[in-house]
A = this chain, B = another copy of it.
Amino acid sequence: MIISMKLHSTKEEIAEVKERIEDFGYKVHSIEGEQRVVIGVIGVGDVTACLEALEAMPQVEKAVRISAPYKFVSREFRQTKTEITTGNVTIGGDEFVVMAGPCSVENEKQILESAEIVARAGAKILRGGAFKPRTSPYDFQGLEEEGLKLLDKARRATGLRIITEVMSDRDVGLVADYADILQIGARNMQNFALLKNLGQCGRPILLKRGMSSTVKELLMSAEYIVAHGNPKVMLCERGIRTFETVTRNTCDIAAVAALNELTHLPVILDPSHATGKRSLVPALARAAVAIGSDGLLVEMHPHPEKAISDGAQSLDPKQFAKMMEDLKPYIELWKQSRIEEAVAAV
Protein backbone atom coordinates (compact mmCIF):
# COMPACT_ATOMS: atom_id res chain seq x y z
CA MET A 1 0.00 0.00 0.00
CA ILE A 2 1.05 3.52 -0.71
CA ILE A 3 -0.72 6.48 0.82
CA SER A 4 -0.48 9.92 -0.71
CA MET A 5 -1.40 12.80 1.60
CA LYS A 6 -3.27 15.89 0.42
CA LEU A 7 -1.17 18.97 -0.33
CA HIS A 8 -0.38 21.06 2.74
CA SER A 9 -1.28 18.33 5.23
CA THR A 10 -0.07 19.27 8.67
CA LYS A 11 2.36 17.23 10.74
CA GLU A 12 -0.49 16.27 13.06
CA GLU A 13 -2.59 15.02 10.16
CA ILE A 14 0.29 12.94 8.87
CA ALA A 15 0.97 11.52 12.31
CA GLU A 16 -2.68 10.55 12.66
CA VAL A 17 -2.53 8.59 9.40
CA LYS A 18 0.65 6.80 10.45
CA GLU A 19 -0.93 5.87 13.75
CA ARG A 20 -3.99 4.43 12.03
CA ILE A 21 -1.74 2.34 9.74
CA GLU A 22 0.19 1.05 12.72
CA ASP A 23 -3.11 0.11 14.41
CA PHE A 24 -3.52 -2.43 11.61
CA GLY A 25 -0.14 -3.96 12.40
CA TYR A 26 1.86 -2.40 9.59
CA LYS A 27 5.08 -0.42 9.56
CA VAL A 28 5.25 2.96 7.83
CA HIS A 29 7.92 4.66 5.80
CA SER A 30 7.34 8.19 4.56
CA ILE A 31 8.73 10.21 1.67
CA GLU A 32 8.69 13.95 2.20
CA GLY A 33 8.38 15.60 -1.19
CA GLU A 34 8.57 19.33 -1.73
CA GLN A 35 4.83 19.47 -2.19
CA ARG A 36 3.46 16.31 -0.82
CA VAL A 37 4.08 13.53 1.68
CA VAL A 38 3.79 9.92 0.59
CA ILE A 39 3.63 7.03 3.03
CA GLY A 40 4.71 3.52 2.15
CA VAL A 41 3.10 0.69 4.11
CA ILE A 42 5.16 -2.39 4.85
CA GLY A 43 4.15 -5.72 6.35
CA VAL A 44 1.21 -8.12 6.44
CA GLY A 45 -2.39 -7.37 7.57
CA ASP A 46 -6.01 -6.86 6.56
CA VAL A 47 -5.34 -4.77 3.48
CA THR A 48 -8.92 -3.98 2.46
CA ALA A 49 -10.00 -2.82 5.89
CA CYS A 50 -6.88 -0.69 6.23
CA LEU A 51 -7.30 0.84 2.77
CA GLU A 52 -10.94 1.69 3.40
CA ALA A 53 -10.19 3.18 6.79
CA LEU A 54 -7.46 5.38 5.32
CA GLU A 55 -9.64 6.53 2.45
CA ALA A 56 -12.12 7.67 5.08
CA MET A 57 -9.60 10.15 6.47
CA PRO A 58 -10.02 13.62 4.99
CA GLN A 59 -6.30 14.34 4.78
CA VAL A 60 -5.66 11.33 2.54
CA GLU A 61 -5.53 12.07 -1.21
CA LYS A 62 -5.20 8.53 -2.48
CA ALA A 63 -4.55 5.06 -1.10
CA VAL A 64 -3.23 2.56 -3.64
CA ARG A 65 -2.82 -1.16 -3.27
CA ILE A 66 0.32 -2.53 -4.89
CA SER A 67 0.27 -6.26 -4.32
CA ALA A 68 -2.45 -8.39 -5.89
CA PRO A 69 -5.35 -9.21 -3.57
CA TYR A 70 -5.32 -12.88 -4.55
CA LYS A 71 -2.74 -15.49 -3.63
CA PHE A 72 -3.47 -19.12 -4.50
CA VAL A 73 -4.64 -18.41 -8.03
CA SER A 74 -1.68 -16.19 -8.96
CA ARG A 75 1.18 -17.12 -11.27
CA GLU A 76 3.54 -16.12 -8.49
CA PHE A 77 2.06 -18.86 -6.31
CA ARG A 78 2.37 -21.50 -9.02
CA GLN A 79 4.41 -21.20 -12.19
CA THR A 80 2.95 -24.05 -14.26
CA LYS A 81 -0.60 -24.31 -15.44
CA THR A 82 -2.99 -26.31 -13.28
CA GLU A 83 -4.12 -29.46 -15.02
CA ILE A 84 -7.66 -30.58 -14.27
CA THR A 85 -8.51 -34.17 -15.10
CA THR A 86 -11.95 -35.73 -15.29
CA GLY A 87 -12.14 -39.24 -16.67
CA ASN A 88 -9.75 -39.40 -19.59
CA VAL A 89 -9.89 -35.67 -20.34
CA THR A 90 -7.37 -33.16 -19.02
CA ILE A 91 -7.93 -29.43 -19.21
CA GLY A 92 -4.92 -27.17 -18.90
CA GLY A 93 -2.53 -29.73 -20.33
CA ASP A 94 -1.39 -30.43 -23.85
CA GLU A 95 -4.87 -31.06 -25.23
CA PHE A 96 -7.27 -28.38 -26.46
CA VAL A 97 -10.66 -29.39 -25.01
CA VAL A 98 -14.03 -28.68 -26.60
CA MET A 99 -17.18 -28.78 -24.46
CA ALA A 100 -20.37 -28.63 -26.49
CA GLY A 101 -24.08 -29.26 -26.43
CA PRO A 102 -27.41 -27.52 -26.15
CA CYS A 103 -28.25 -24.61 -23.88
CA SER A 104 -30.94 -26.61 -22.05
CA VAL A 105 -31.58 -30.30 -21.62
CA GLU A 106 -35.05 -30.52 -23.17
CA ASN A 107 -35.83 -34.25 -23.37
CA GLU A 108 -34.10 -37.59 -23.75
CA LYS A 109 -34.08 -37.67 -27.52
CA GLN A 110 -32.64 -34.18 -27.81
CA ILE A 111 -29.79 -34.68 -25.35
CA LEU A 112 -28.81 -38.13 -26.62
CA GLU A 113 -28.80 -36.88 -30.19
CA SER A 114 -26.75 -33.86 -29.15
CA ALA A 115 -24.24 -36.02 -27.32
CA GLU A 116 -23.68 -38.27 -30.31
CA ILE A 117 -23.24 -35.32 -32.65
CA VAL A 118 -20.69 -33.50 -30.54
CA ALA A 119 -18.80 -36.69 -29.69
CA ARG A 120 -18.55 -37.66 -33.34
CA ALA A 121 -17.14 -34.24 -34.20
CA GLY A 122 -14.46 -34.47 -31.52
CA ALA A 123 -15.82 -32.79 -28.40
CA LYS A 124 -14.83 -34.44 -25.15
CA ILE A 125 -17.35 -32.93 -22.75
CA LEU A 126 -21.12 -32.51 -23.09
CA ARG A 127 -22.77 -29.30 -21.88
CA GLY A 128 -26.48 -28.96 -21.14
CA GLY A 129 -28.45 -26.99 -18.55
CA ALA A 130 -30.77 -28.67 -16.06
CA PHE A 131 -31.12 -25.63 -13.80
CA LYS A 132 -31.55 -22.55 -16.01
CA PRO A 133 -31.04 -18.95 -14.90
CA ARG A 134 -33.72 -17.09 -16.87
CA THR A 135 -34.34 -13.35 -16.80
CA SER A 136 -38.09 -13.93 -16.78
CA PRO A 137 -39.99 -16.02 -14.23
CA TYR A 138 -42.29 -17.03 -17.08
CA ASP A 139 -39.56 -18.68 -19.17
CA PHE A 140 -38.59 -22.36 -19.08
CA GLN A 141 -36.60 -22.94 -15.87
CA GLY A 142 -35.02 -26.30 -16.72
CA LEU A 143 -35.83 -29.96 -16.01
CA GLU A 144 -33.82 -29.94 -12.76
CA GLU A 145 -32.98 -33.42 -11.42
CA GLU A 146 -34.74 -35.07 -14.34
CA GLY A 147 -32.34 -33.17 -16.61
CA LEU A 148 -29.35 -34.38 -14.60
CA LYS A 149 -30.51 -37.95 -15.10
CA LEU A 150 -30.75 -37.45 -18.82
CA LEU A 151 -27.23 -36.06 -18.87
CA ASP A 152 -26.08 -39.15 -17.06
CA LYS A 153 -27.72 -41.31 -19.73
CA ALA A 154 -25.97 -39.37 -22.45
CA ARG A 155 -22.67 -39.81 -20.65
CA ARG A 156 -23.16 -43.56 -20.45
CA ALA A 157 -24.19 -43.73 -24.09
CA THR A 158 -21.22 -41.78 -25.45
CA GLY A 159 -18.41 -41.76 -22.90
CA LEU A 160 -18.45 -37.96 -22.88
CA ARG A 161 -17.92 -36.19 -19.58
CA ILE A 162 -20.67 -33.88 -18.34
CA ILE A 163 -20.67 -30.18 -17.42
CA THR A 164 -23.81 -28.52 -16.09
CA GLU A 165 -24.74 -25.42 -14.11
CA VAL A 166 -25.51 -25.16 -10.42
CA MET A 167 -27.36 -22.04 -9.28
CA SER A 168 -27.79 -22.39 -5.52
CA ASP A 169 -25.64 -23.54 -2.63
CA ARG A 170 -28.58 -25.80 -1.74
CA ASP A 171 -28.13 -27.80 -4.97
CA VAL A 172 -24.35 -28.23 -4.96
CA GLY A 173 -24.53 -31.76 -3.54
CA LEU A 174 -27.24 -32.87 -5.94
CA VAL A 175 -25.52 -31.52 -9.03
CA ALA A 176 -22.14 -32.90 -7.91
CA ASP A 177 -23.73 -36.36 -7.70
CA TYR A 178 -24.33 -36.30 -11.45
CA ALA A 179 -21.94 -33.85 -13.09
CA ASP A 180 -18.23 -34.20 -13.80
CA ILE A 181 -17.73 -30.45 -13.86
CA LEU A 182 -19.92 -27.85 -12.12
CA GLN A 183 -20.53 -24.67 -14.04
CA ILE A 184 -21.08 -21.36 -12.23
CA GLY A 185 -22.90 -18.91 -14.46
CA ALA A 186 -22.05 -15.28 -15.06
CA ARG A 187 -24.88 -14.07 -12.82
CA ASN A 188 -23.54 -16.10 -9.90
CA MET A 189 -19.86 -15.22 -10.18
CA GLN A 190 -20.19 -13.17 -7.01
CA ASN A 191 -22.74 -15.39 -5.26
CA PHE A 192 -20.35 -15.83 -2.39
CA ALA A 193 -22.54 -18.29 -0.48
CA LEU A 194 -22.42 -20.54 -3.51
CA LEU A 195 -18.67 -20.09 -4.04
CA LYS A 196 -17.90 -21.10 -0.46
CA ASN A 197 -19.95 -24.26 -0.89
CA LEU A 198 -17.95 -25.33 -3.91
CA GLY A 199 -14.85 -25.70 -1.79
CA GLN A 200 -15.87 -29.15 -0.55
CA CYS A 201 -17.85 -30.53 -3.51
CA GLY A 202 -15.06 -32.71 -4.89
CA ARG A 203 -15.65 -31.69 -8.51
CA PRO A 204 -13.84 -29.38 -10.90
CA ILE A 205 -15.48 -25.99 -11.35
CA LEU A 206 -15.90 -23.88 -14.45
CA LEU A 207 -16.36 -20.31 -13.23
CA LYS A 208 -17.84 -17.91 -15.76
CA ARG A 209 -16.89 -14.26 -15.65
CA GLY A 210 -19.72 -11.96 -14.60
CA MET A 211 -21.15 -9.67 -17.22
CA SER A 212 -19.65 -6.61 -15.60
CA SER A 213 -16.86 -8.22 -13.63
CA THR A 214 -13.26 -7.24 -14.00
CA VAL A 215 -10.51 -9.78 -14.54
CA LYS A 216 -9.39 -9.13 -10.97
CA GLU A 217 -12.84 -9.82 -9.57
CA LEU A 218 -12.95 -13.06 -11.55
CA LEU A 219 -9.66 -14.06 -9.95
CA MET A 220 -10.98 -13.10 -6.51
CA SER A 221 -14.04 -15.31 -7.01
CA ALA A 222 -11.78 -18.18 -8.05
CA GLU A 223 -9.72 -17.46 -4.95
CA TYR A 224 -12.87 -18.00 -2.84
CA ILE A 225 -13.27 -21.51 -4.22
CA VAL A 226 -9.61 -22.40 -3.88
CA ALA A 227 -9.34 -20.90 -0.40
CA HIS A 228 -12.32 -23.00 0.66
CA GLY A 229 -10.57 -26.18 -0.38
CA ASN A 230 -11.04 -26.83 -4.08
CA PRO A 231 -8.06 -26.05 -6.32
CA LYS A 232 -9.66 -27.44 -9.50
CA VAL A 233 -11.03 -24.24 -10.97
CA MET A 234 -11.08 -23.21 -14.61
CA LEU A 235 -12.12 -19.73 -15.71
CA CYS A 236 -14.40 -18.85 -18.60
CA GLU A 237 -14.54 -15.67 -20.67
CA ARG A 238 -18.05 -15.38 -22.13
CA GLY A 239 -18.30 -11.75 -23.11
CA ILE A 240 -18.89 -8.68 -21.00
CA ARG A 241 -21.63 -6.10 -21.14
CA THR A 242 -20.87 -2.92 -23.03
CA PHE A 243 -22.76 -0.38 -25.14
CA GLU A 244 -22.29 -2.44 -28.33
CA THR A 245 -25.40 -4.30 -29.52
CA VAL A 246 -24.27 -5.90 -32.80
CA THR A 247 -23.24 -8.84 -30.65
CA ARG A 248 -25.09 -10.04 -27.54
CA ASN A 249 -22.04 -9.38 -25.38
CA THR A 250 -18.54 -8.09 -26.10
CA CYS A 251 -15.92 -10.82 -26.09
CA ASP A 252 -12.94 -9.57 -24.09
CA ILE A 253 -10.50 -11.86 -25.81
CA ALA A 254 -7.43 -10.03 -24.57
CA ALA A 255 -8.53 -11.06 -21.08
CA VAL A 256 -7.55 -14.62 -22.03
CA ALA A 257 -4.00 -13.47 -22.70
CA ALA A 258 -4.00 -11.35 -19.56
CA LEU A 259 -5.26 -14.28 -17.47
CA ASN A 260 -2.53 -16.49 -18.87
CA GLU A 261 -0.04 -14.04 -17.38
CA LEU A 262 -1.81 -13.53 -14.06
CA THR A 263 -2.96 -17.03 -13.14
CA HIS A 264 -2.09 -20.69 -13.52
CA LEU A 265 -5.75 -21.69 -13.84
CA PRO A 266 -6.98 -22.94 -17.25
CA VAL A 267 -9.03 -20.49 -19.31
CA ILE A 268 -11.97 -21.51 -21.50
CA LEU A 269 -13.71 -19.27 -24.04
CA ASP A 270 -17.43 -19.41 -24.78
CA PRO A 271 -17.94 -17.96 -28.28
CA SER A 272 -21.69 -18.64 -28.22
CA HIS A 273 -22.64 -16.32 -25.36
CA ALA A 274 -19.88 -13.91 -26.30
CA THR A 275 -21.49 -13.20 -29.67
CA GLY A 276 -25.08 -14.45 -29.45
CA LYS A 277 -24.91 -15.07 -33.19
CA ARG A 278 -24.31 -18.46 -34.70
CA SER A 279 -22.60 -17.08 -37.80
CA LEU A 280 -19.85 -15.44 -35.73
CA VAL A 281 -19.05 -18.46 -33.54
CA PRO A 282 -16.58 -20.33 -35.80
CA ALA A 283 -14.42 -17.24 -36.45
CA LEU A 284 -14.28 -16.43 -32.75
CA ALA A 285 -13.47 -20.06 -31.94
CA ARG A 286 -10.42 -19.85 -34.23
CA ALA A 287 -9.30 -16.69 -32.47
CA ALA A 288 -9.74 -18.40 -29.10
CA VAL A 289 -7.37 -21.18 -30.12
CA ALA A 290 -4.88 -18.71 -31.56
CA ILE A 291 -4.74 -16.52 -28.48
CA GLY A 292 -4.02 -19.50 -26.26
CA SER A 293 -7.17 -20.44 -24.36
CA ASP A 294 -7.31 -24.01 -23.05
CA GLY A 295 -10.63 -24.93 -24.56
CA LEU A 296 -14.05 -23.90 -25.82
CA LEU A 297 -17.58 -24.07 -24.46
CA VAL A 298 -19.93 -24.06 -27.46
CA GLU A 299 -23.68 -24.30 -27.93
CA MET A 300 -24.84 -26.90 -30.47
CA HIS A 301 -28.45 -27.98 -30.91
CA PRO A 302 -29.74 -30.67 -33.26
CA HIS A 303 -32.47 -28.25 -34.41
CA PRO A 304 -31.66 -24.69 -33.34
CA GLU A 305 -34.90 -23.29 -34.73
CA LYS A 306 -36.82 -25.53 -32.33
CA ALA A 307 -34.61 -24.94 -29.28
CA ILE A 308 -36.32 -23.80 -26.10
CA SER A 309 -33.52 -21.37 -25.41
CA ASP A 310 -30.52 -19.74 -27.14
CA GLY A 311 -31.47 -21.00 -30.61
CA ALA A 312 -29.99 -17.95 -32.30
CA GLN A 313 -26.50 -18.66 -31.01
CA SER A 314 -26.51 -22.46 -31.34
CA LEU A 315 -24.67 -24.12 -34.19
CA ASP A 316 -26.50 -26.87 -36.01
CA PRO A 317 -24.81 -30.30 -36.38
CA LYS A 318 -23.34 -29.53 -39.79
CA GLN A 319 -21.97 -26.16 -38.74
CA PHE A 320 -20.49 -27.68 -35.61
CA ALA A 321 -18.75 -30.47 -37.54
CA LYS A 322 -17.35 -27.94 -40.01
CA MET A 323 -16.05 -25.72 -37.23
CA MET A 324 -14.32 -28.65 -35.55
CA GLU A 325 -12.72 -29.62 -38.84
CA ASP A 326 -11.57 -26.07 -39.55
CA LEU A 327 -10.06 -25.74 -36.07
CA LYS A 328 -7.69 -28.67 -36.55
CA PRO A 329 -4.69 -26.84 -38.08
CA TYR A 330 -5.07 -24.07 -35.48
CA ILE A 331 -5.05 -26.67 -32.72
CA GLU A 332 -1.88 -28.12 -34.25
CA LEU A 333 -0.21 -24.73 -33.96
CA TRP A 334 -1.56 -24.43 -30.42
CA LYS A 335 0.08 -27.72 -29.47
CA GLN A 336 3.42 -26.67 -30.90
CA SER A 337 3.41 -23.46 -28.91
CA ARG A 338 2.51 -25.35 -25.72
CA ILE A 339 5.53 -27.59 -26.30
CA GLU A 340 7.76 -24.58 -26.92
CA GLU A 341 6.52 -22.94 -23.72
CA ALA A 342 7.16 -26.12 -21.76
CA VAL A 343 10.69 -26.33 -23.15
CA ALA A 344 11.30 -22.65 -22.43
CA ALA A 345 10.12 -23.11 -18.84
CA VAL A 346 12.68 -25.83 -18.12
Taking beta carbons and an 8 Å cutoff, which residues of A are in contact with B?
A: 2, 4, 7, 20, 29, 31, 33-36, 38, 40, 42-43, 46, 48-49, 52-57, 61-62, 64, 66-67, 69-70, 76, 133-141, 167-171, 187-188, 190-194, 196, 210-212, 214-217, 220, 223-224, 227-228, 240-247, 250-258, 260-262, 274-275, 277-280, 283-284, 286-292, 304-312, 314, 326, 329-330, 333, 337
Assembly stoichiometry (copies): 4
Of the residues B2, B224, B250, contact of A38 by C-beta under 8 Å: B2
The answer to whether A55 touches B290, judged by C-beta atoms less than 8 angstroms apart, is no
The closest CB in chain B to the CB of A252 belongs to B250
Contact status of A136 and B69, CB under 8 A, knowing A20-B305, A55-B312, A243-B242: yes
Query: Could you list 9 examples of A-B contacts with CB < 8 Å?
Result: A49-B140, A52-B309, A52-B310, A53-B311, A56-B307, A70-B136, A133-B190, A168-B194, A251-B254
For the complex of A and B, list the 3 residue pairs with the smallest distance between their C-beta atoms, beginning with the closest: A212-B212, A56-B311, A168-B193
Contacting residues, chain B, for A35 (C-beta < 8 A): 67
Contacting residues, chain B, for A190 (C-beta < 8 A): 133, 135, 187
Contacting residues, chain B, for A240 (C-beta < 8 A): 242-244, 250
The answer to whether A250 touches B246, judged by C-beta atoms less than 8 angstroms apart, is no
Max chain B Cβ within 10 angstroms of own Cβ: one of A31, A46, A76 = A31
Contact status of A330 and B290, CB under 8 A, knowing A140-B49, A244-B214, A305-B56: yes
The answer to whether A66 touches B36, judged by C-beta atoms less than 8 angstroms apart, is yes
Contacting residues, chain B, for A306 (C-beta < 8 A): 53
Of the residues B36, B40, B141, contact of A67 by C-beta under 8 Å: B36
Docked Cα-Cα span, A52 to B243, in Å, equals 21
Contacting residues, chain B, for A287 (C-beta < 8 A): 253, 287-288, 290-291
- Closest Cβ of chain B to A169, distance in Å, is 6
The closest CB in chain B to the CB of A304 belongs to B56
The answer to whether B242 touches A257, judged by C-beta atoms less than 8 angstroms apart, is no
Max chain B Cβ within 10 angstroms of own Cβ: one of A247, A291, A306 = A291
Contact status of A56 and B255, CB under 8 A, knowing A31-B31, A242-B240, A330-B333: no
